[in-house]
Each structure stands twice: as structure tokens, then as C-alpha cells.
Amino acid sequence: MDKKIGETRTNGPYTDLRELLQQVEDIGELRRVQGADWNLEMGCLAELIYHNSPDTPPAILFEEIPGYPGMRCLSGMTNSSQRLALTLGFALSKKPIDIVSSYRDRMQTHEPIPPRVVNTGPVMENILRDDDVNVLKFPVPFLHELDGGRYIGTDDLVIMRDPDDGWINIGTYRSMVQDEKTVGLWMSPGKQGRQIREKYFKMGQPCPVLICCGHDPLLFLASGNELRYGLSEYDYAGGHRGAPIDVVNSELFGLPMPAHAEIVLEGVMYPGETKLEGPFGEFTGYYNREQSEQPIVHIKRIYHRDNPILSIASPIRPPSDFSFSKCVMKAGMIWDEVERAGLSGVTGVWCHEAGAARMFNIIAIKQAYAGHARQALHAAASCQSASYMGRFTVVVDHDVDPTDTFDVLWAISTRCDPGEDIEIMRRAWSGPLDPLMVKNMNSRGLIDACRPFERIDTFPPVARASEELKARVAAKFAKFL
């Protein structure tokens, strides 16, 4: 597999979501849908479109939403190889492994760049304060039939400041509308945003928060994936952009919001104050969590652009409007992290969409020494990006394409001796969305589907034509192929 995919910034940078939307339309990947209602129609349309065209999923821009003149909703902005390439500034490619590879190459030189505070930006075009606050001013979708409410934050950025050392964390956590002035926020145990909130609550202090609901999708890629504790998603995204992200400090708590954001809610959570939240369709394809008491956010300010675009991520049985993008990002992050941990010989990583980008991951290596395959297997199962809610990790030889399910199953079937080559890791980090979880922990199946190293030179050769023979015969008989 070619690891050196050209990583040129041929397609960027862009200023904001709107400019990027234009670029997406220019490459033919934007579908405009008029007239869909917030009540179930947008969610169902996203499901129909993503399940009907899993190989060419477009971004969907919902326009002319009944009752919300001028406002729009956007689903699936990063959910294709080409849109990811535009967002990350990679050379355009339709092959997912090219994007994974470009990501891994980028991370060799990636340096975090802190955001730049500016006085104002488009997000300040409209400000609603106190009594004027109404989150239902926007076309907040009710996404799936069994959901417990309308969710304003799905493809969102939940921005918080660590009270100890002041660093800014951003995570994507769902937020459900409770009423016009309050939303619930669900953060899974162990998540960095939750750790920060618990610090405030343990000190008996209110926890300030911003919820951004429409933004440069680069920030969503940073926010929805596990970065190391203490690394701000703003800095990480700036490192990808090669320039600082512009932020404006919020009026009440001085929290930094993206200057080009579409909609930002500013609010506060109080210790001990909760309301029922959920249920909500989940990324694994189930409703595993019942309604539960969760902290609520009192919204004190709303900042928004004229004719704002509300971004949506609708978790369902995959594929969903964000599952492909998670596969690519996770695969790139795992590849980068295992190499940083010292692993050599990695030729590819892939997180399968059926495993919702977390539960069925594959690493490919060129075996160089006895024990190499198990080292790769354990590293790929335990690094930060793979740790939460993993299930199966597979290691394959470099002649197997990790993105090709058939190839991977063939390797498991023919190179993995279950008695010798399947290991179980127990008491690993899971969470309430895992349908099999007990006490926030689960077990992992680690599958070594590499040729046994001690037999690597004598293992039966693969019965297939060589690349040279295929090329020669294909050229000669082109009219039959």
C-alpha cells in the first residue's frame, strides 16, 4: 500500500462553513432539500439518503424549513473522503485510505497552534440576552421516533474551561431542549468535559459552558474524537489549518467561541440541578440508555449569524451522516498514536463503519520480528483513540487491505487459529452506550490474523496471479474485461 499520498493544500484554506459549503457544491457533493419539517422529516431523510447511497453520501442542506424562513440545517458535512480532504486541506481523493494516510503523514509535523482572540466576528451579528433567549427560535430537529425530545446539539462543540489550569476543552456532547431557556447535556463518564464539570461541582461552583451548533467542520472533527487530556481542540485544529482559529470571547464568562460560528449558546450548569434527558438514538444503532437525570444548562445568551445554519449529526444504526467521517479520523489517529508509542511497520489502519468506527478496528503491519503482531494488536486496542468502547481489534499482514472487509475476513479465516490467536482483554473502558456494557467496562476480542511469524517463510503462498501477470494479461485482453 502506498503510504506517501501527496499532501498538498490544493483545496484550502476556506474562511468559514459557508465558503466550504460552496466548495462542496462545486465538487458535486451537496444535496439541497427543500421543505422538510423539523419534526422527524429531516432525521428520516438523512437516514434514507445515507442508507440508500452508502458509497457516495452527500452533505444535505435542508432549506425552506416550514416555520423557519431563512434558516437552514446541515447534515453530513464531513462524511466523504473528498469532503474530509477539503476540510483538512489534503489532496482530493475518493479513497478513504488516502485520507487516513494523509492524516498520518500530517501528524508527523503537526504542531498545535493556539487560537487568536479577535474583537468581533460574524457570530456577533445577533445577540439574544436573558429574557429574549429562546433556543426554539431555530429549527431544532426531533430526529428519531423514539427520542425523548428535540436535540439542538448533535454536531456541536461543547466548550469549557478547566478550573485548575485554565485550558479550554471542546467535546461533542448531545444537548436536548428542555424548554426555551434550558437544555440538558449528556456527557459519558470519563469524558474530558465531564471531568471538568465534576471539578466545578466538587468545589460547589457553577460550571460555565458554550454550546456551538454550526461551525467549521474541522472543529467538529477535533471535538468528536478523543484527543489527549490537556490538548485544546482549538490548538489541534489550528495545527491542521496551519493558522490560528479566530475566536471571540463570550460576554458573560469570557469563553472563546469560533468567530465564524453560526449559532452559539452561552450558559451555566449548577451543582445538583438535573432534569430527565433522553432517550436518544445512539451511534451503535440502538437505544441503550433510558431516560436519566442529567445536569441542565441555563442559557443566558445566544449569539448567531444572520440566516444561521444549524449543524446536525443523527446517530442511527450505521451508516449515519457522520459514521464514515469517524472511521477515517479514528483510523488516522490510531495509526499516528501507535507509531508515537514506538510501533514500526504499520502499513494501514481502518475502523469499520459497521462497528460504528469504534468496535471493529483493523491494523495492518509488515511483520519484522517475533511478537510484532501482538504488539501491534495490543497497541491498536489500547491507545487513547481506540480505548473508549472498543470491541474487536484485528491485526493483519501488509498484503491484506484493512479497508476491504472481504480481505480481512479471508485473513481471519485462514491465518488465525482461534485457540492460539484470539486473546481477551477484560475490564476495559466502556460506557453507557455500549449495548453489552456492565459497570462502564467491557471486554475486548483481540484477533491475530497474521501469518505465524515462525512460519512466515514457509507459510503456503497465496494462490493468485502476480501484479505483473495481471497487468500483462489485462492489457492483452482489455476488450473482454
Ligand X SMILES: Cc1cc2nc3c(=O)[nH]c(=O)nc-3n(C[C@H](O)[C@H](O)[C@H](O)COP(=O)(O)O)c2cc1C
The site for ligand X (CB under 6 A) is made up of: 154-155, 169, 171-174, 186-188, 191-193, 224-227, 313, 322, 326
* Closer Cβ to ligand X, 224 or 295, answer by number: 224
> Cβ closer to ligand X: 174 or 451?
174
**In degrees, to the nearest 5, what angle opens at C-alpha 169 toward C-alphas 343 and 216?**
90
Determine the Cα–Cα distance for residues 141 and 149; give it in Å rounded to an integer.
9
- Least distance CB 93 / ligand X (angstroms): 22
As given in the structure block, the three cell numbers for residue 96 are 478513504
Q: Please report how close the Cβ of residue 297 comes to ligand X at its closest, in angstroms.
A: 13
What backbone phi and psi angles, to 5 degrees, belong to 124? -90, 10
Q: Which is nearer to ligand X, 190 or 271 (CB)?
A: 190
CB of 321 to ligand X, least distance (A): 9
Let me know: does 163 contact 205? Beta carbons within 8 Å.
yes
Peptide bond into 319 cis (omega under 30): yes
What stretches of 2-54 show up as alpha helix (H) in DSSP? 17-26, 41-52
Q: In terms of CB distance, is 126 or 274 closer to ligand X?
A: 274
Rounded least distance, CB 254 to ligand X, Å: 20
* Residue among 69, 86, 68 nearest 77 (CA): 86
Task: Specify the residue, 360 or 372, whose C-beta has the smaller distance to ligand X.
Answer: 360
Residue 223 Cβ vs ligand X, minimum distance, rounded to whole Å:
6
Judged by beta carbon, residue 101 or residue 325, the one nearer ligand X is 325
Minimum Å gap between C-beta 291 and ligand X is 14
Q: Sign of torsion, CA 349 96 315 167?
A: positive
- Helix/strand/coil (H, E, C) string of 368-393? CCCCHHHHHHHHHHHCHHHHCCCCEE
Helix (H, G, I), strand (E, B) or coil at 298: strand
Give the nearer residue to ligand X in terms of CB position, either 81 or 375: 81
State how far the Cα of 255 lies from the Cα of 115, in Å rounded to an integer.
Answer: 12
What is the biggest distance separating any 2 CA atoms in the chain, rounded to whole angstroms? 77
Please name the amino acid found at residue 137. Answer: K
Q: How far is the CB of 220 from ligand X (least distance, A)?
A: 7
